[in-house]
Every structure is written in structure tokens, then in C-alpha cells.
Amino acid sequence: MGAKSNYLAKKVLDHILGGSDYTRPSTVYLALCTARPKMDDTGSTITEANYTGYSRLAVTNNSTNFPAADTVNQTPQTSGSLEIGSRYLINSYQSGDDFTNVGAPSNANGVEFVASGTTPAVWTNGSSLIKMGAIKQNGVPLEFGECTSGSSNVGWVAVLDAANGGNLLYYATLEYAKDITFGDKPIFPVGYLKFIET
């Protein structure tokens, strides 16, 4: 699940509501990160992989590489894990269930919250949650350069508007952190990168 940077959030708000128009970059650059990016980071302040053979991956910003956004699956969920950073709606609250430890301000029908954890304190009484928003995913495999020496422990990916420096647009936590070592060639399969707007 991806988060939007402060830079991009302001650009979108101004574009939609009375400010300057924002022109999307024709090429975006993916960066493998060894520390979690922050909303106010730039392309110069994120901490990137540094193995030999690494560079940001240039991706043409088109509908082949990033197909049209879709609505997040809104099938009611009555058990399981939540995705940190995703927005949820308590669709049908059943007494005894407790979602306050994962970000809900209260336990009631119609409460919306951004999940701050994966496991609600109690979710055994049949309450249903609906994940909210729209999702954008990669439409082609995205492959970085091979590690020819050195190593990097990568746990995040960032989307930027320049090959060096530039502006941070989005960032996401990878499902699993990975030690990139000799011979590894990091690749994101189709649909692996998920950016959700709520």
C-alpha cells in the first residue's frame, strides 16, 4: 500500500481546487529504499540501496505500465488482518468487537479509520469492515539492475520524478524486506506495487 508525499498531495489539491495545474511526469523513477521514506522527504533525502549495479528504474508513465485505477475490493470483511495505512469503514458493528487499537476512534456503525495495526483487539463477534478507496497497480514486471557486488537490505520503494534528486511522489512498504546480494536482480511482478487513494 502506498502513501502520497506532501509534495504531491499539495500539487493535487491545488490542481483540483483553484491552484496551478499539475502536469504528471512523462517518466517516473522507482527507487529501492533501505529506510522508510517520510511524507516530507525529497528525492535527495530518501535512503536508497547502494549495491553495485543499483540505479533508479526509469518507467514510462503510461497506461501500459500503470493501467487505469480501479475501486478497491469492497467485499465486507468479517475476520483476518488489516492492511496498515488502508482506510476502513465499520460497515456493521457487533457488540464486543474492538477496533480502537488499530486506529478506529470508536466502535460503531459508519466509523471510518486508517488502520494503524493489523490485528484488532477483538474481532470475533461478526462486525464487518469495508476497505475504501481506489487502487493503481503496475501493469508490467519492473526489473532493477543486478547486484554485482555489495549488498542492501531493501524494505521500501519510492516513486520519484527524476533519475537523481527530484521530488518524492509516492512510497510504499514492501511485503517482505529483502537482502539484495550478489547475483540478485530485484523485480516487482505485475500487480505487486499498489497505490491506494482514499
DSSP-derived secondary structure letter, 98: B
CA distance 197 to 69: 10
Listed as own residue / partner, the contacts of 55-59 with beta carbons closer than 8 Å and 24 or more positions apart are 55/144, 55/145, 55/163, 56/29, 56/30, 56/31, 56/160, 56/163, 56/164, 57/29, 57/30, 57/31, 57/142, 57/143, 57/144, 58/27, 58/28, 58/29, 58/163, 59/27, 59/28, 59/29, 59/30, 59/142
Residue type, 47: T
> Residue ranges of the domains in the chain?
2-68+135-197, 73-132
pLDDT of residue 84: 82
CA distance 30 to 59: 8
pLDDT of residue 73: 79
Residue type, 169: L
pLDDT of residue 1: 57
Q: Could you read off the pLDDT tens digit of each residue along the chain, which spans 198 residues?
A: 578 999 999 999 999 999 999 999 999 999 999 999 999 999 999 999 999 999 999 999 999 999 999 988 788 999 999 988 788 999 999 999 999 999 999 999 999 998 999 999 999 999 999 999 888 999 999 999 999 999 999 999 999 999 999 999 999 888 889 999 999 999 999 999 988 887
Helix (H) or strand (E) holding 64: none
For cell 528504474, the residue is 57
CA distance 19 to 92: 39
Tens-place pLDDT, residues 121-151: 999 999 999 999 888 999 999 999 999 999 9
